[in-house]
Amino acid sequence: MQSVISIKNLSKTYADGFQALKDVSLEIEDSEILALLGPNGAGKTTLISIVCGLVNPSSGSVEVSGHDIISDYRAARELIGLVPQELTTDAFQTVWQTVSFTRGLFGKPAKPSYIEKILRDLSLWDKKDNILMTLSGGMKRRVLIAKALSHEPRILFLDEPTAGVDVELRKDMWDVVRGLRASGVTIILTTHYIEEAEQMADRIGIINKGELVLVAQKAELMRKLGQKQLALHLREPLERLPGGLDDYELELSSDGRELTYLYSTQGKRTGVRGLLSALQGAGVEFKDLDTKQRSLEDIFVTLVKEQS
Amino acid sequence: MNLQGVKAIYRFEMERTWRTIFQSVVSPVVSTSLYFVVFGSAIGSRIKEIDGISYGAFIVPGLIMLSLLTQSTANASFGIYFPKFTGTIYELLSAPISYFEIVLGYVGAAASKSIILGLIILATANLFVTIEIAHPIWMLTFLVLTSVTFSLFGFIIGVWADGFEQLQIVPLLVVTPLAFLGGSFYSINMLPEFWQKVTLFNPVVYLISGFRWSFYGVADVGVGVSLAMIALFLSLCLGIVWWIFRTGYKLKP
């Protein structure tokens, strides 16, 4: 795979001394969807802001399709569309005006047929003459996406695109993203939600405290991380695990009343059925059971531990 | 050169003028007419002539200058402050557009508005008194140079301002007093000698004097000095704008 964005040893320290990025290097491949995961303040937005030209890097370099983002910023920026995290729109323009404005700002001559297509795809066509200030939050989010697409970018950055967004918009948005990907657009999105990354991304990068902890193919990562936990609440406390259950690597709680079993949802077999019949065979009875997805936070803890 | 980008900014700013036509054009015309009626008739009935020009006609260049200075500053500062305030500045910074082109769009639009406004005020004044323009080319030169210079000045204020109060304070507390004290309504030769000297530190004196010379051929200070002062102030503003973009001051952390 050819890389479309090449980030080398990028660091950023803000004027107040806060170090938002520490020596980040990352190759983003052509036509992939890369999800950047990380808690608030991890440096995701700073990374995007540097690539897009909103923040000056302290050191390191970024190339977009071989164009340096500083010395050759025009060529680099022409290729990029950015949907910011905050709902920042002008107040008094119409939807049509603001989307056309962005296209002009990016140096492209007017092309009403293309703007119409974007607005239709994003279910904004019937709002095209509405004043921005009168739109709901969800509609503004759509407008921001339309603006970012107005100049036909080859790379699209979506910074927390689904924060505070309803189900319908999320669905529309992912349809648009899939369509863009199919047409060869590279997409970089940041998110808090692992399910989102799981659904959409080809690769996942994890940022924590300004460091890129890990970048991996989604399938690989999900195998590692996409585990569920089954908890069995026993009728009678056990002193120790009965024989014949060794294969399942069960964990017995200290009071002997709860058994936990970790399994992967990605594998062909979860082993849950086998476990339950093995328990029956061993005469262990349970009164209740529940399953729990490992949260992003658990995954972080694991990863950060692994890393150090 | 991203001409489409410059055009987009310019159009955006001009559309803002049409949206706020009352605030942008009608209100300066009304207030100028009021100055004209009040100063022209109240004082004009006592002062017949200054340098051989009727008082009513004498104040016209000063009135135009007063509006040019305050409106250029206010328009250009608001134009760049508002995207900073709403956050839409991210678009400008992420677009393939140079700083020079951004300034060209914003300052070009603000200066255009001021020039149009100046001409409207001139036409309005023409309804009250007969105005001759001795040096029309120089008149337009002063009009354009002043509009551009003070639009640049406004752009700087807009980048610097952290709130609406700071945005207002410079046009209200600096530009307006300097324009009033710079001989909009009188010739500085009418002042006591000491105040004449003090007034020479007011940069606006040179603008008004030069502009008035282009109308009537009379001036408080030499025309060359007036032009030099505008050129100096223009280069100063250009230098500051260049520095703002080079360092990313208040725009780009």
Rank A206-215, A264-273, B100-109 by mean pLDDT and report only the highest.
B100-109
pLDDT of residue A221: 72
CATH of the domain at A191: 3.40.50.300
**Tokens describing residue A258:** 């709860």
Shortest CA gap A112–chain B (Å): 15
- Please say if the pLDDT value at position A62 is more than 60: yes
pLDDT of residue A226: 64
pLDDT of residue A301: 65
A287 and A158, same domain (yes or no) = no
Q: Is B93's CB within 8 Å of A82's CB?
A: no
The tally of domains found in chain B comes to 1
A36 and A136, same domain (yes or no) = yes
In a domain, A59, yes or no: yes
Exposure string of B200-225, with b = 16+ CB inside 10 Å and e = fewer, is eebebbbbbbbbbbbbbeebbbebeb
Share of chain A above pLDDT 90, in %: 42
Q: Which residues pair with A211 in a beta bridge?
A: A208
Number of neighbouring beta carbons within 10 Å of residue B170: 20
pLDDT of residue B127: 83
Number of helices and strands (H, E) in chain A? 10, 14
Phi, psi at residue A248, to the nearest 5°?
Answer: -90, -5
In a domain, A236, yes or no: yes
User: Between A and B, how many residue pairs show a Cβ–Cβ distance under 8 A?
Assistant: 82
Q: Is A107's CB within 8 Å of B88's CB?
A: no
CATH of the domain at A248: 3.30.70
Q: Is B252's CB within 8 Å of A55's CB?
A: yes
In a domain, A301, yes or no: no
Q: In the Cβ-directed half-sphere of B61, how many Cα atoms lie within 13 Å? A: 35
Q: What share of chain B is helix, strand, coil (3-state, %, to 5)?
A: 80, 0, 20
- Return d(Cα B107, Cα A20) in angstroms, integer: 35
A203 and A55, same domain (yes or no) = yes
In a domain, A306, yes or no: no
Residue A266: domain span? 227-294
pLDDT of residue B149: 93
- Please say if the pLDDT value at position A224 is more than 70: no
Shortest CA gap A3–chain B (Å): 21
Q: Which of A255, A262, A196, A253 is nearest to A229 (CA)?
A: A262
Q: Across all residues in chain B, what is the average pLDDT?
A: 87
Q: Across all residues in chain A, what is the average pLDDT?
A: 86
A88 and A30, same domain (yes or no) = yes
A140 and A170, same domain (yes or no) = yes
pLDDT, one tens digit per residue, over A9-34 is 999 999 898 999 999 999 999 999 99
In a domain, B37, yes or no: yes
Q: Is B16's CB within 8 Å of A92's CB?
A: yes
In a domain, A244, yes or no: yes
**Helical ranges in A230-295 per DSSP H:** 272-282
**What mean pLDDT comes out for the span A75-97?**
91
Residue that terminates a domain, selected from A223, A257, A276:
A223
A113 and A215, same domain (yes or no) = yes
Whose tokens are 């014949």? That residue is: A244
Say what the ipTM of the complex is. 0.86
Phi, psi at residue B249, to the nearest 5°?
Answer: -45, 115
pLDDT of residue A223: 66
- Return d(Cα B206, Cα B225) in angstroms, integer: 7
Q: Is A106's CB within 8 Å of B15's CB?
A: no
Residues in A closer than 8 angstroms to B91, CB to CB, are: 102, 105, 147
Please report the DSSP string for B84-101 in residue order. HHHSTHHHHHHSS--HHH
Q: Please name the member of A76, A104, A147 whose beta carbon is closest to the beta carbon of B5.
A: A104
In a domain, B164, yes or no: yes
In a domain, A48, yes or no: yes
**What mean pLDDT comes out for the span B58-85?**
90
A59 and A204, same domain (yes or no) = yes
A32 and A121, same domain (yes or no) = yes
pLDDT, one tens digit per residue, over A116-142 is 999 998 889 999 999 999 988 888 988
Share of chain A above pLDDT 70, in %: 92
Residues in A closer than 8 angstroms to B7, CB to CB, are: 104
Residues in A closer than 8 angstroms to B95, CB to CB, are: 77, 102, 105-107
- Return d(Cα B43, Cα B37) in angstroms, integer: 10
Which residues lie below 8 Å from residue A239, measured CB to CB, with a gap of 6+?
Answer: A256
Residue A164, phi-psi category: left (phi > 0), alpha (psi -120 to 50), beta (remainder)? left
**Tokens describing residue B241:** 């704008």
In a domain, A303, yes or no: no
Residue that terminates a domain, selected from A178, A207, A223:
A223
Shortest CA gap B238–chain A (Å): 22
Number of neighbouring beta carbons within 10 Å of residue A91: 11
In a domain, B129, yes or no: yes
- Please say if the pLDDT value at position A307 is more than 70: no
In a domain, B253, yes or no: no
- Please say if the pLDDT value at position A5 is more than 90: yes
Number of helices and strands (H, E) in chain B? 12, 2
Residues in B closer than 8 angstroms to A101, CB to CB, are: 8, 11-12
Whose tokens are 């007063």? That residue is: B66
Whose tokens are 């015309």? That residue is: B29
SS3 of B117-156? HHHHHHHHHHHHCCCCCCCHHHHHHHHHHHHHHHHHHHHH
Residue B21: domain span? 3-247
Higher pLDDT, A106 or B190: A106
SS3 of A4-67? EEEEEEEEEECCCCCEEEEEEEEEEECCCEEEEECCCCCCHHHHHHHHHCCCCCCEEEEEECCE
**CA separation, residue B249 to residues A55, B56, B156, B239, B240 (Å):** 11, 45, 10, 13, 10
In a domain, B57, yes or no: yes
- Return d(Cα B181, Cα B191) in angstroms, integer: 11
**What mean pLDDT comes out for the span A138-163?**
90
Strand segments, DSSP code E, in chain A are 3-13, 19-29, 33-37, 59-64, 67-68, 80-83, 155-159, 186-191, 203-208, 211-217, 227-234, 251-252, 258-264, 286-293
pLDDT of residue B34: 86
In a domain, B252, yes or no: no
A155 and A202, same domain (yes or no) = yes
A160 and A246, same domain (yes or no) = no
In a domain, B219, yes or no: yes
Confidence of residue A220 (pLDDT cuts 50, 70, 90): confident
Query: How far is residue B25 CA from its own chain's centroid?
Result: 14
**What mean pLDDT comes out for the span A258-281?**
80
pLDDT, one tens digit per residue, over B159-179 is 998 888 888 888 888 888 888
A90 and A210, same domain (yes or no) = yes
Confidence of residue A192 (pLDDT cuts 50, 70, 90): confident
Residue that terminates a domain, selected from A164, A191, A223:
A223
pLDDT, one tens digit per residue, over B177-186 is 888 888 888 8
Instruction: Determine the 3-state secondary structure of B185 from DSSP.
Output: coil
A209 and A232, same domain (yes or no) = no
- Please say if the pLDDT value at position A300 is more than 80: no
pLDDT of residue A297: 57
Contact B5, B103 (CB under 8 A): no
In a domain, B13, yes or no: yes
Test mutation, B88, B97, B100, B244, chain A, max A CBs within 10 A: B88
Q: Give the range among A133-137, A161-165, B33-37, B248-252 with minimum mean pLDDT.
A: A161-165
The tally of domains found in chain A comes to 2
In a domain, A73, yes or no: yes
User: Rg for chain B (alpha carbons), in Å?
Assistant: 19
pLDDT of residue A298: 65
pLDDT, one tens digit per residue, over B89-148 is 999 999 999 989 999 999 999 999 999 999 988 888 888 888 889 899 999 999 999 999
